Amino acid sequence: MKKNFDAIVVGAGPAGSSAALTMAKAGLDVALLERGAFPGEKNMFGGVLHRLTALEEFFPDFWDQAPLERHIVKKGLTFMTGEATFNVNFDTQASDRTPYNGYTVHRPRFDRWLAEEAQKAGATLITRTTVDDVIREGGKITGVTTLRDGGALKAPIVIAADGVLSLTAEKAGLRRPKFDRSHMAIGVKALIEMPKETIDERFGLVRDQGASTEIVGCTEGVRGGAFLYTNYDALSLGLVLHLGSLADSGKTPYDLLNRFMAQPQMAKLLRGGRLLEYSAHLVPEGGYEMMPELVGDGIMVAGDAAAMCIVTGLNLEGINLAAQSGVLAGKAALEAHNSRDFTKSGLSIYRRMLEESFVLKDLKLYKRAPHMLHNDRIYTSYPELVCGIMDEIYRIDGNPKSTMTQLLMRAVKEKVGLKNALADVYSGWRSL
């Protein structure tokens, strides 16, 4: 097997394949390494594939080319208690027109497709290959060793796109060896088989329209929330739990997931469904605050490996940031090859391009959001407050009604306290 390349990309996920595609299209000789038997085999998410503006130059009709499930027209937010739900839905025809705003996908299919597009463009896709370490020469990273026959691959540029734990970035000394558990969340997911017609009727959808809902209040006090997305003929649902909070709670993710699926309103939506697959993965929710060094001598870090993740409670972005950072890392590699400068300063154009793009602008804009979300009241008191108020508004029990103001003040005082509520509104406003 060939051992020398212009660039090595570690990890054929959205960041890595976007980088490989960008470089291969421009004529670089690229190795795209993947530890799975095929790209996507190890990848799951509890998310929506947001519109990938970064890839639109390569795929002008992305929605006709990529293996997608449904495009999202309906976004929902649900406050949940043990026996009630309060839903806010936004359903718009604007999201029913191309370019679509987001999609549901099966990662083993989507990631495989994107990696194969990089391969078609000329990248050498090498699967079943786990990277073990980086090779250093004169202080510079000049390649990687793999767990496959002790193999070594050499290139003046390595792009670490190996996911949330990025052992490659760690070996290169770009991230701290120990993660802070408060920066991480664990996502667990169940894929539930359901006929397309049933999904369409239950969720009010037609054709390839899809719905995505975020749910809060369903985690028994563990910080986190749930998601429910419609695939073509399956539902994706699961929990995203802050790791520190979960660890301290003594509860297990699968018991919480089972009880969430058994909650009465959820159970109605899932009725008749069959579990197809269970999966789990960490999410780098800390975002900007936990970012590693993005550039070193001969190396750049992209996607989840660089903690490019935005969690606001309403949006959960990751793949769009990964694809954008991958494309920019690819462009920086092209620049570096033109100037023959593979040092940290030669590659620092990557950081500058990220600063000018939405990637670092948005990560900085929402850098307070993780702190705001480390507030236990969000996960129990507020869902109870909202559902409690709705219950009182609708309840007919022979007693005289309170005014809305009385109702609201009483509920706030009882559930969260007035001072806390004001502080939370302020903190939420500042973060978002």
Partner 1 sequence: MNIDEIFDYTSFNIDREAHIVLDPAICVRCDQRACTNSCPARCYTWSEEEKKMTFVYDGCLECGTCYVVCRPGAFKLWRYPRGGFGVSFRMT
Q: Out of 53, 101, 249, 420, name the contact with partner 1 by CB under 8 A.
A: 249
Q: What is the CA radius of gyration of the chain?
A: 23
Nearer to partner 1 by Cβ, of 290 and 332: the residue is: 290
Residue 89 is a binding residue for partner 1 (CB under 8 A): no
Residue 280 is a binding residue for partner 1 (CB under 8 A): yes
Taking the complex as a whole, how short is the minimal distance between the CB of residue 343 and partner 1, in angstroms? Answer: 29
Taking the complex as a whole, how short is the minimal distance between the CB of residue 117 and partner 1, in angstroms? Answer: 20
Q: Out of 136, 148, 331, 351, name the contact with partner 1 by CB under 8 A.
A: 148
Residue 250 is a binding residue for partner 1 (CB under 8 A): yes
Residue 253 is a binding residue for partner 1 (CB under 8 A): yes
Query: Contacts by 354-362 with C-beta closer than 8 Å and gap 24+?
Result: 354/294, 354/325, 354/328, 357/324, 357/328, 358/324, 359/308, 359/321, 359/324, 359/325, 359/328, 360/288, 362/310, 362/317, 362/321
Q: How far is CA 265 from the centre of its chain?
A: 26
Q: Out of 13, 16, 39, 108, name the contact with partner 1 by CB under 8 A.
A: 108
For residue 296, give both structure tokens.
């070193």
383-402 residues in contact with partner 1 (CB under 8 A) are: none
DSSP H or E segment with residue 254: helix 253-262
- Of the candidate spans 88-96, 129-137, 314-322, 405-413, the one that interacts with partner 1 by CB under 8 A turns out to be 129-137
- Of the candidate spans 29-37, 194-202, 342-350, 424-432, the one that interacts with partner 1 by CB under 8 A turns out to be 29-37
Residue 53 is a binding residue for partner 1 (CB under 8 A): no
Residue 39 is a binding residue for partner 1 (CB under 8 A): no
Taking the complex as a whole, how short is the minimal distance between the CB of residue 349 and partner 1, in angstroms? Answer: 31
For residue 26, give both structure tokens.
């421009």
Q: How far is CA 57 from the centre of its chain?
A: 23
Residue 188 is a binding residue for partner 1 (CB under 8 A): yes
Cis peptide bond upstream of 99, omega within 30: yes
Taking the complex as a whole, how short is the minimal distance between the CB of residue 143 and partner 1, in angstroms? Answer: 17
Residue 1 is a binding residue for partner 1 (CB under 8 A): no
Residue 275 is a binding residue for partner 1 (CB under 8 A): yes
Q: Out of 137, 139, 271, 278, name the contact with partner 1 by CB under 8 A.
A: 278
Longest CA–CA span in the chain (Å) reads 83
Q: Out of 116, 132, 335, 391, name the contact with partner 1 by CB under 8 A.
A: 132
**Cβ-proximal residues to 277 (8 Å cutoff; 6+ apart), any chain:** 190, 191
Nearer to partner 1 by Cβ, of 96 and 133: the residue is: 133
Residue 109 is a binding residue for partner 1 (CB under 8 A): yes
Residue for token pair 């008191």: 381
Q: Out of 165, 365, 390, 423, name the contact with partner 1 by CB under 8 A.
A: 165
DSSP string, 54-113: GGTTT-TTHHHHS---EEEEEEEEEEE-SS-EEEEEEE-GGGGSSSPSEEE--HHHHHHH
DSSP string, 306-354: GT--EE-SS-EE-HHHHHHHHHHHHHHHHHHHHHT--SHHHHTHHHHHH
Q: How far is CA 162 from the centre of its chain?
A: 14
Query: Is residue 49 within 8 Å of 68, Cβ to Cβ?
Result: yes
Residue for token pair 């390839």: 208
CA dist 180 and 287 (Å) reads 12
Residue 202 is a binding residue for partner 1 (CB under 8 A): no
Nearer to partner 1 by Cβ, of 38 and 358: the residue is: 38
Residue 145 is a binding residue for partner 1 (CB under 8 A): no
Taking the complex as a whole, how short is the minimal distance between the CB of residue 247 and partner 1, in angstroms? Answer: 4
Q: Which of 349, 353, 360 is nearest to 309 (CA)?
A: 360
Residue 225 is a binding residue for partner 1 (CB under 8 A): no
Query: Is residue 158 within 8 Å of 333, Cβ to Cβ?
Result: no
Residue 282 is a binding residue for partner 1 (CB under 8 A): yes
Residue 200 is a binding residue for partner 1 (CB under 8 A): no
Binding site for partner 1 (CB under 8 A): 35-37, 40-44, 106-109, 127-130, 132, 146-148, 164-165, 167, 178-179, 181, 184, 186, 188-191, 234, 236, 243, 246-254, 257-258, 261, 275-282
